[in-house]
Structure 1
Amino acid sequence: MADRKSVTVRVPAKVNVQLAVGGARPDGFHDLANVFLAVSLFDEVTVTPADELRVTCSGPDADQVPLDRTNLAARAAERLAARHGIAPDVHIHIAKDIPVAGGMAGGSADGAGALLACDALWGLNSSRAELMEICAELGSDVPFSLAGGAALGVGRGERLSELPVGGTIHWVFAVADGGLSTPAVYREFDRLAEGTDVPEPVASPDLLEALRTGDAAALAGTLSNDLQPAALSLRPSLAATLETGMAAGALAALVSGSGPTTAFLTKDEDSARSVAEALTTSGTCRTARVAHAPAPGARIV
């Protein structure tokens, strides 16, 4: 065991620049072609030796974060400890800055952060492959939170291929009041798709090329999210947020993942600030955050 007093890991949010969703599988999951981009909004997860496993949280909407064993950070500590026959006796503190229940993989980020932090605290020196395997057991978005950068996720989204990005891409994220449940959004997707032929999910070659060249204008024409109609069905007010950001000069707008956070692609940092200001003063969202991509994955700080 390593003799460390604590370990802190910084881990990014994500935006799905393409989320292609197939029909429901027999196991209830959906096959995905999920193009992830890590963005510069981060949670920090700190683990400290303790008498028992416990989770605390601070930051925006911390009161909405579960502090029991359902929290992915707690589950990550338990999974890693079980593999090595040790007790998961740590205090996990999550300093939130990623929107909670906002479609930006905040819970998944905390799972990846806790996994990496516990591995270092306990001196396990697990291979990247072993950490990725545990991430995939924890949830579809958790492996990407560990990896960061840009990647195509297939299967449930957990099988990743790294993607090149040619430059910095500027974003604004409008944070809505309240969250949206990912399972509820998928149920609504299934309801809306009932009786139709849902095509096999495939990554857009034009989108991958726009990412590779870092061409924001080209990327704007290729962004897509198959869950967006379901999110808008459950939360119609998001349409006004999307319209406001576009009217303020965004190149493109979409719901981030299962929502309700909305994402706005902009041509540069100045434009991002201008769009964020328009969104903040519009009354169509609670707050707006400027960020850039790609960002690194989970890192010990």
Structure 2
Amino acid sequence: MTLAEQPPRRVHVRAPGKVNVFFEVGPVEPDGYHRVASVYQAVSLYEEVSAVHADGFTVAVTGDVDVSGVPTDDTNLAVRAARLVAEHAEWPGGIHLDVHKGVPVAGGMGGGSADAAAALVAVNELLGAGLTGTALHALAATLGADVPFALLGGTAVGTGRGDELAPALARGRLDWVLVPDAEGLSTPQVYGTLDDLRAAADIGPVRRIPSVDPRVLQALRRSDAAALAEVVSNDLQVAAIHRRPDLGAVIAQGVAHGALAGIVSGSGPTVALLCADAAAAASVARAFVDRGRAALAVHGAVPGARVVAVD
């Protein structure tokens, strides 16, 4: 079937950003990667991706955040995802993607991974490829460690390189305030700084096989924000703050404004502040905004990549 014979059709998918409630990093492996043990939570800050038939593979990027650093060529993760599904569907044409970003770029919240997850779901629906959730997960894992979680959503434990996922039993709602930063941090550089700090014995020791603190899972099961605040942890935080000392000040300010605890999300620089409830989150966010700093009150857990419209 040629492109001209295809009916006009657009599939719109929404995928969430995430915070790392807990993140333990093992030592660097011979291949340069690290084993991790993580608890991810998908939060109500979204990437929007639409897919249509086209003659080639292209992407246009807009956003509520600065998107100047987002590639629009074949290196874009969403384009790579679209190509993967098209290859499996043996689709002879192309796909055009419209990406609207709501998750800070290079902010440690998995925005690019959410784009890729949304593109997988959108192109699968657009082409009628019939790929199962398991098949999409396998494709997602080839694109990056955070992509499978963006498909799954909710709250999950990630092991291996973060892509071996098991849903976590998490009842109720957790409220967060996200404090983004215009100056992104490179994930590989943050990992490199962590390795350097460990090699210099500035921090440590480190377990070869990382694991999730069971108290984190217990707090999530009870939806107990106060208990969770006592055990949130991120091994990458010390490296992110080493590169950006101001992030430590943001966490301290958030707690002073009424947050229960603060943590650098992923490799940063976004800071995630855990709050007692929605009213507390609104108050903390307002305190930052009143002082001229962007802050967003969000909640978790929310679903992963989902089709929201087919035109």
TM-score (norm 1): 0.96
Could you tell me which residue of structure 2 aligns to residue 173 of structure 1?
178
For residues 1-301 of structure 1, the aligned pairs below 5 Å read 3=7, 5-59=9-63, 60-87=65-92, 89-194=94-199, 196=201, 197-199=205-207, 200-283=209-292, 285=293, 287-301=294-308
Q: CA deviation at 1:3?
A: 4.8
Q: Residue 103 of structure 2 aligns to a residue in which SS?
A: coil
Supply the distance in 2 between the matched residues of 1:176 and 1:276 (Cα, whole angstroms): 14
| 1:227 partner SS | helix
Q: Distance in 2 between matches of 1:51 and 1:198?
A: 50
SS of residue paired to 2:295: strand
> Mean alpha-carbon deviation: is it higher for 64-73 or for 7-16?
64-73
User: What does the per-residue CA deviation read over 1:69-113, in whole Å, with 9 as the maximum and x for residues that have no partner?
Assistant: 111100101112223332461110111111111000000000000
List gaps (5 residues or longer) in structure 1.
Answer: none
Give the Cα separation in 2 of the matches to 1:82 and 1:184: 33
The one-character-per-residue Cα deviations of 1:246-266 (angstroms, maximum 9, x if unpaired) are: 100100001000000000000
- Aligned AA (1:62): V
SS of structure 2 residue aligned to 1:103: coil
Instruction: Name the SS for the 2:113 alignment partner.
Output: helix
- Which ranges of structure 2 fall in alignment gaps of 5 or more residues? none
Query: Equivalents in 2 of 1:254, 1:7: separation in Å?
Result: 35
Measured in 2, the distance between the counterparts of 1:52 and 1:215 equals 49
Percent identity over the alignment is: 47
DSSP-derived class of the 2:68 partner:
helix
**Contact map agreement 1:31 1:156 (CA 8 A) in 2:** yes
Secondary structure of 1:91's partner?
Answer: strand
CA offset digits 1:45-73 (Å, max 9, x no partner): 00011111101111121222111111110
What is the Cα-based RMSD across aligned positions, in Å? 1.3
2:111 partner amino acid: G
Count of matched residue positions in the alignment of Structure 1 and Structure 2: 299
In the TM superposition, structure 1's runs of 4+ consecutive aligned residues that sit over 4 Å from their partners are 1-4
| TM-score (structure 2 length as normaliser) | 0.93
Distance (whole Å) between structure 2 residues aligned to residue 184 and residue 167 of structure 1 = 36
Determine the C-alpha separation between the residues in 2 that align with 1:22 and 1:4.
49
SS at structure 2 position matched to 1:114: helix
CA distance in 2, matches of 1:88, 1:43: 25
State the distance in 2 between where 1:142 and 1:298 align: 10
1:20 counterpart letter in structure 2? E
Q: Could you list the per-position Cα deviations for residues 208-267 of structure 1 after superposition, in whole angstroms to 9, with x for gaps in the alignment?
A: 010011000001001000000100011111112111101001000010000000000000
